[in-house]
Structure 1
Amino acid sequence: MSADTTTLPAPRIAAQLAAFAHGLEPGMLPAAVVEQAKLLMLDALGIALASSGQDFAHCAYRGLQALGGTGDSAVMGAFAPLPLRDAVLINGILVHGLDFDDTHPGAITHPSASAFPLALGLAAQRHATGAEMITAYVLAIEVAARLGAAARGGFHDVGFHPTGLVGAFGCALAAGKLMGLDLAALEHAQGVVLSMASGSMEFLGDGAWTKRMHPGWAGVSGLTAAALAGAGFRGPSQPYEGRFGLYASHLAARGQSADLALCTRGLGERWALMEVAVKLYPTCHFTHASIDAALALRAAGLRAEEIASVQVLLPQGVHPVVCEPVAAKRRPANVYESQFSIHHLVALALLRGELGLAELDAAHLADPQVQALADRIEHAADPDADYPTLFSGELRVRTHDGRELRWRESAHRGAPGRPITVADVEAKFMGNALLVLPRDQVLRLRDAVLSADRAKDAAILAQTLAHPKTSTSGAL
């Protein structure tokens, strides 16, 4: 009698992710993952604080407060608490609002902007420990990174912002974990959130504010889906590989090239969180390697008045986001548009020799020097790009006296292979937080986040991270 060689079908993706979420416990996280998680959360907090004085933040807060009133969930910055779902949304807006938050390059997502507000808010409400909060945060990132990577850059190509899409699924499982859902409910939560996952790239047309809310909405969607599933609400069993699942519905024909094996590969063995890159510039991550190259040429002695022309080589897949349409990119209508313009940003870097929040000022939009140099900048496809794994950038400069200068960065700083240090992350946090808070308070916040794994009650941690000088009006 011959041996039975029948191959059983692989478990559904949602079932595999649910099993991973259900079994994940704080003690299973490697020490390096916990330390990196705390650094990423620290980075997110600093950006949220820096965002808290911006118009978009106050408009969003007023709208949410008018809708739901006050609550008991902490909001980062000088705002009064809101109901849980509204706090998750506004905190996501704050973390993502300056486009200064972290990125998983392979997934092309900003994972902390949804994972941190969701994990912090729900862990605080349920009085979970800091270690349990971190575990939920890591879980959300592990799931979102894999789901995003499976699309191979396709979501951007068809106009969807993957941060909003895949972040919702990560947050649904993280919320379910903190709620103590069973395996079946964790599966249903993923099916339910399929009908909520969203995020349009149309903001690129005029620098609208909608991108800022995508991660917070992913957190709200995940939280809502988990609560519904926990109450017995049923969702589709194949939210990823189904006929109208995530990849088929959001990628259409391109969904056939999605690598669905990446959705679950290496769970619990390879930690995607360790691949998340911290931004050193408050701009779209697609532009960072080119900015690095521009700053390197400037540091080597190149001056803007010497430049006859610049060709910037970037991966073809990023051109619709940061290079096109050329006329609009050379003349961004507002600061947010400028953060997605390779022409404007490279010109600024070459002229100023640095690129931080101070350089992204409305006054520079109409600066004749910036505009004149942007007009001499062209873009082209990088034939050697390893996209979407890495975001490369190369500058080819021709000077008025006939010299040709080149500088290539195969990946931006902070990407795998080009790590930044713990000191770099802490310095970025300090710089952002000191924009709105005194130094002694900033240091207390830093220490609270970096010891979060030892916190006995996440509610106390959340209150610590909120500005103590809150007012019922939410005004600074």
Structure 2
Amino acid sequence: MIARELASWALGLDEVPAPVAEAAARHLLDGFGTALAAARTGAAAPAIEVARGLGGPPEAAVLGTDDLVSAPAAALANGTLVHALDFDDTHAGGLVHATAVVLPAAFAVGQQVGASGRDVLAAAVAGYETACRVAAAAPHGFHERGLHATMVAGVFSSALIGARLLGLDAETTAGALGIAGSQAGGLLAFLGTGASTKQLHPGFASQSGIVAARLAAAGATGPETVFDGPRGVFDALSAHPADPASILDGLGERWETTRIGIKPYAACQLSHATIDAVRDAMAREPFGPDEVAGVHAVVHPDSAPVVCDPGRDLTRPAGPYAAKFSLPWTVAALIADGNLSVRTFEPDSIARPEVSRLAARVRWEVATEPGVVAADAPGRVTITLTDGREVTGSVPRSEGGGDRPLGRAALLAKFAGNAGVPPAEAEEFAHLLDTLGEQPDAAVVVRAAARLARPTHSEQEN
């Protein structure tokens, strides 16, 4: 059974190869940064309020605070914090936000049991491999069914992380994966509204995975056939035929942790290739928004239903998340402002009529021969100016992943901006994660994040 083999591998993972550990440290740094940005802007306030209300034994901290609640409650808040601005990383093969479900479980349970940095790092890598591989076994299959792959796959990674850190054996861990499968879900119904449910999905997944591990430890059982079927997660939740065996393919030899991309923009990953293509066009021949007569983009067939859905108003988004998932509006905002930032997607920004008018001039066609998964697809645009000139732009794939990874300087700048701290403090925090495997207590990272979030830093930024 896949669940048993995956559990055995994860529990036996002892030495994490240096390149994999380095990749995990990069993504954990990015995740702490996006969480601190959400904390600073209040983007995850409801989840934090509920986590505090749930309380429980003082096991783990809500990120950016000194508040201790139960590990499942902390994971609910922290998963929401990491993902609240949709600025967190993405694994292209499964289109899954891996750190949003890995970081909360690893540090909440790690803090609960007093785990070392080495233990948390190994658990996190096992979680990264699980989330990415489960989602990639059914590329866009969950999305096509109307489900968020991050939540579907995330319950399994969080359960595995929890089981490893709690010291469960392989049989019990496989059972935890089976229990987690009954909590997989996450509706994409938010796409046409201003609802914030997508922000909550990683929190739900992290919380549910930890609870699944605890239930297994207490004697509850789950089906080890959760991946193999019949009536397993792929049979029930994927709209396309899946390849469950690929979860184990090259496990421990090919590391998906090193293939996760880091976002330079706080918008849906499926728009990033087009965004970069527009930036390429703007660099080739500068022009202003008033000079744009029309924009024509070539979009991957799996991207179009998500960011170009004609069934909703793509020019006047219903809320920040609707704007992040509108390719026309995002492209228009980029042309209007010259860049995209977290500020771009705040309510007063998305209400600008001049951006909506420009978004109405954005058209697209679906690529007939995509060749690659959507998040790895090339970007191509043609921008027609009012004087009749045409400016083209193209990129082989979006920046941040694949052969276009975000460099160290850009990653640190992103973290410093998200956390609202000077570069020197960003470097200091990054060093903690670079040396996570050497830390006797992984909670030192959580405490450092709380210090960065204290009001003096916001005052410095202002």
Does TM-score exceed 0.5, indicating one fold?
A: yes
| Pair 1:314-2:299 in alignment | yes
- 1:344 pairs with one of 329, 342, 346: 329
Q: In the alignment, what sits opposite 1:66?
A: 53
The farther-off stretch of 117-126 and 400-409 is 400-409
Q: In the alignment, what sits opposite 2:438?
A: 454
- 1:85 pairs with one of 61, 72, 80: 72
Calculate the aligned-residue CA RMSD, in Å: 1.9
Q: In the alignment, what sits opposite 2:5?
A: 16
- Map of 1:281-360 to 2, 5 A cutoff? 281-300=265-284, 301-325=286-310, 328-360=313-345
The one-letter amino acid paired with 1:423 is A
Q: Note closer, same or farther for the CA distance 1:13–1:388 as it changes in structure 2 (3 Å cut).
A: farther
What's the secondary structure of 1:125's corresponding residue?
helix
The farther-off stretch of 48-57 and 175-184 is 48-57
Q: In the alignment, what sits opposite 2:131?
A: 144
How many correspondences in the alignment?
Answer: 453
The one-letter amino acid paired with 2:403 is G
Q: In the alignment, what sits opposite 1:417?
A: 403
Q: In the alignment, what sits opposite 2:210?
A: 223
TM-score by length of 1: 0.91
Q: CA deviation at 1:332?
A: 0.4
Q: CA deviation at 1:399?
A: 2.1
Q: In the alignment, what sits opposite 1:247?
A: 234
Q: CA deviation at 1:372?
A: 1.5
- Map of 1:80-229 to 2, 5 A cutoff? 80-229=67-216
Task: Tell me if structure 2 keeps the 8 A contact 1:93–1:213.
Answer: yes
Distance in 1 separating the partners of 2:276 and 2:423: 29
Structure 1 unaligned runs (5+)?
1-11, 472-476
What's the secondary structure of 1:148's corresponding residue?
helix
- The C-alpha deviation readout for 1:350-408, integer Å capped at 9, x for no partner, is 12111111322323323232112111111220224222461432212222222222212
What's the secondary structure of 1:457's corresponding residue?
coil
What's the secondary structure of 1:317's corresponding residue?
coil
- The C-alpha deviation readout for 1:408-453, integer Å capped at 9, x for no partner, is 223111121222212221111111111xx56665454333222212
Distance in 2 separating the partners of 1:302 and 1:233: 63
What's the secondary structure of 1:196's corresponding residue?
coil
Distance in 2 separating the partners of 1:468 and 1:280: 22
TM-score by length of 2: 0.93
Distance in 1 separating the partners of 2:442 and 2:65: 19
Task: Tell me if structure 2 keeps the 8 A contact 1:79–1:470.
Answer: no
Q: Note closer, same or farther for the CA distance 1:438–1:387 as it changes in structure 2 (3 Å cut).
A: closer
Q: CA deviation at 1:91?
A: 0.7
| Pair 1:432-2:418 in alignment | yes
The one-letter amino acid paired with 2:152 is L
Q: In the alignment, what sits opposite 2:459?
A: none
Q: Note closer, same or farther for the CA distance 1:164–1:119 as it changes in structure 2 (3 Å cut).
A: same
Distance in 2 separating the partners of 1:52 and 1:24: 33
Distance in 1 separating the partners of 2:330 and 2:445: 37
The one-letter amino acid paired with 1:329 is L
Percent of paired sites with the same residue: 35
- The C-alpha deviation readout for 1:35-55, integer Å capped at 9, x for no partner, is 111111111111111100334
Q: Note closer, same or farther for the CA distance 1:357–1:389 as it changes in structure 2 (3 Å cut).
A: closer
Distance in 2 separating the partners of 1:56 and 1:428: 18
Distance in 2 separating the partners of 1:271 and 1:406: 36
Q: Note closer, same or farther for the CA distance 1:440–1:406 as it changes in structure 2 (3 Å cut).
A: closer
Q: In the alignment, what sits opposite 1:369?
A: 354
- The C-alpha deviation readout for 1:260-286, integer Å capped at 9, x for no partner, is 221111100000000000000001100
Structure 2 unaligned runs (5+)?
456-462
Q: In the alignment, what sits opposite 1:45?
A: 32
Task: Tell me if structure 1 keeps the 8 A contact 2:380–2:393.
Answer: yes
Task: Tell me if structure 2 keeps the 8 A contact 1:188–1:234.
Answer: yes
Q: Note closer, same or farther for the CA distance 1:57–1:282 as it changes in structure 2 (3 Å cut).
A: same
Q: Note closer, same or farther for the CA distance 1:347–1:469 as it changes in structure 2 (3 Å cut).
A: closer
The one-letter amino acid paired with 2:404 is R
Runs of 4+ in 1 over 6 A off after TM superposition: 468-471
Q: Note closer, same or farther for the CA distance 1:56–1:50 as it changes in structure 2 (3 Å cut).
A: closer
The one-letter amino acid paired with 2:431 is D
The one-letter amino acid paired with 2:393 is W
Task: Tell me if structure 2 keeps the 8 A contact 1:52–1:78.
Answer: no
Q: In the alignment, what sits opposite 1:4?
A: none
